Structure 1
Amino acid sequence: MSLTKSLLLVALATGLLLLIPLVAMQYTTEVNWTFSDFVFAAVVLFGAGSTFVLIARMGTNGTYRLAAGVGVVAGLLLVWANAAVGLVGSEHNLANLLYGAVLLVALGGAIAARFRPLGTSNAMFAAALTYVAVTVIALFVWKPTGAAAEPSVYLVNVLVANGVFATLWAVSGWLFRRATNAHQQLA
C-alpha cells in the first residue's frame, strides 16, 4: 500500500476514534471534552499512527512490524496517561515531565540506529531502563499529600502502573531483537 493511502487510513481511524467521545458526550455528562481535548487527541493519535506507518515500512518481516507497533503503543500510552492523569501524582505534577526522557531515548536511539532491528532493540531496552530510572527519581522528587498520602497504596499503584509501561518498552526491544535474528537468517 502506498504511503499516501496508509496515512489516509490513519487519518480515517483517528477520526473514527474521536467519534467515540463525541457521541458519548451526547448521552452522558461523564464525558466532557473541550475543543482542545479533541485537538490533543487528534494530534497524538494521528502522530502515533503515522509514526507506526513510517517505521513499519522499514521492516522486512512481521516481527519487526509487531515490535514497532508495541513501541509506538508504549509511547502513545505514556503520553496519553501522563496527560490525562499523570504517572506520578496528578497530571499537573512537574515530575511527570521527566517521562519525556523516555520518548527521547527511544526515538533518538532508533534514529541513531537508522531503525535497524538490533540498534532499535537496544534503544527500546534503554527506554525501558530510562522509564524505571525516571520512576525512581520521580518518587524521590514527589511526596504524596492529601488523599494520595497513604504510602503503601500509593507506592503499589505507581510501581504496578509504571512497571507495565516499562515492560512494554522491554517487549518491544525483545521483539526487535527477534526481528534481528529473523533478518540474519534470511541473509
Structure 2
Amino acid sequence: MTQTQSDPPARRGNAFRPYLWGGAALLLSVPLIAMQFTDEVDWDLFDFIVMGLLLGGACGAYELGTRLSGHWAYRGGFAVAILGGFLMTWVNLAVGIVGNENNPVNLLFFAILVVGAIAAPLGRFRARGMARAMYATAIAQGLVTAYIAIAGHGYTFVLAGFFIAVWLCAAHLFLRADEDAARAGAGD
C-alpha cells in the first residue's frame, strides 16, 4: 500500500528501544551484583519489585512518547520529563527528599508528578499541551518548595532548582517540536 497525501506521515520506530530496555535491566541488576560483594547494599524482593515497576513504567512511558511523535524534540521532552519523574520518585522512595522516606511531607512530591500526569492528557499529548503540562509541573514544584521552606522542613533549594530546570527543559523541547510542526505546516 502506498502512502497518499491524506495519510499521516509514517513514524519512525524507536531505534533506542534495545538500549532503553537493556539499560533498565542492567540498572536493575546493579544492586544484585553489589550484594554479592558488600553488605552495604541489602535489597529484598520488594525492593527489586518496586524498582522493576519504576523502570518498566519509565521505559513504557518513553515508548508511548515515541509513538506519539517522531520529532526529536518531542521525544527529547518526553525523555527529560520521564527521567525527572523517575529520579524524583526513586530518591523519594529510597531516602526521602525531606528528612527520610517516612516523612509525610514527601507525599507532596508525588503530587507534583500527578500534576504532570493529569495535565499531559488534558493537552491531548500534543507538543504545545505537553509544554503547558511541564510548566504546570514546574509551578507545582515551586509551590511545594515554597510551602516546605515556609514550614521550615529544611528542604534544599538546589534540589528544587534542579527539578524545576528539568520540567522547564522538557517544556522547551516540547515548544521546539510545536514550532517546527507549525513551520512545516506553513510551508517554510
Provide the TM-score with structure 1 as the length reference.
0.85
SS at match of 2:36: helix
Question: Cα distance, 1:165 vs. partner?
Answer: 1.1
Question: Cα distance, 1:140 vs. partner?
Answer: 3.5
Is residue 33 from structure 1 mapped to residue 43 from structure 2 by the alignment?
yes
Task: Select the structure with the greater relative contact order (CA < 8 A; seq sep ≥ 6).
Answer: 1
SS at match of 2:68: coil
Aligned mate of 2:127, from 109, 117, 127: 117
Aligned mate of 2:108, from 81, 90, 98: 98
| Counterpart in the other structure of 2:148 | 138
Can you list the C-alpha shifts for 1:143-170, whole angstroms capped at 9, x where unaligned?
A: 4xxxxxxxxxx55xx1101210111011
Question: Cα distance, 1:113 vs. partner?
Answer: 0.8
Question: Cα distance, 1:9 vs. partner?
Answer: 6.9
What is the rounded CA distance, in whole Å, between the counterparts of 1:62 and 1:2 in structure 2?
12
Aligned residues: 173
Greater mean deviation of Cα atoms: 99-108 or 10-19: 10-19
Aligned mate of 1:85, from 72, 95, 112: 95
Can you list the C-alpha shifts for 1:77-100, whole angstroms capped at 9, x where unaligned?
A: 110011111111111110010112
> In angstroms, what is the RMSD of aligned CA positions?
2.1
Question: Cα distance, 1:2 vs. partner?
Answer: 6.7
Mark the structure with the bigger radius of gyration.
2
Question: Cα distance, 1:56 vs. partner?
Answer: 2.1
**Percent pairwise identity:** 34
| Counterpart in the other structure of 1:182 | 180
- Residue identity opposite 1:50 in structure 2: G
Provide the TM-score with structure 2 as the length reference.
0.84
| Counterpart in the other structure of 2:162 | 164
Can you list the C-alpha shifts for 1:91-142, whole angstroms capped at 9, x where unaligned?
A: 1110010112211111111111111000110110110110111122133345
Structure 2 unaligned spans of 5+: 1-11
Greater mean deviation of Cα atoms: 74-83 or 54-63: 54-63
- Residue identity opposite 1:65 in structure 2: R
| Counterpart in the other structure of 1:49 | 59
Q: Is the 8 A contact 2:73 2:173 kept in 1?
A: yes
- Residue identity opposite 1:86 in structure 2: G
Structure 1 unaligned spans of 5+: 144-153
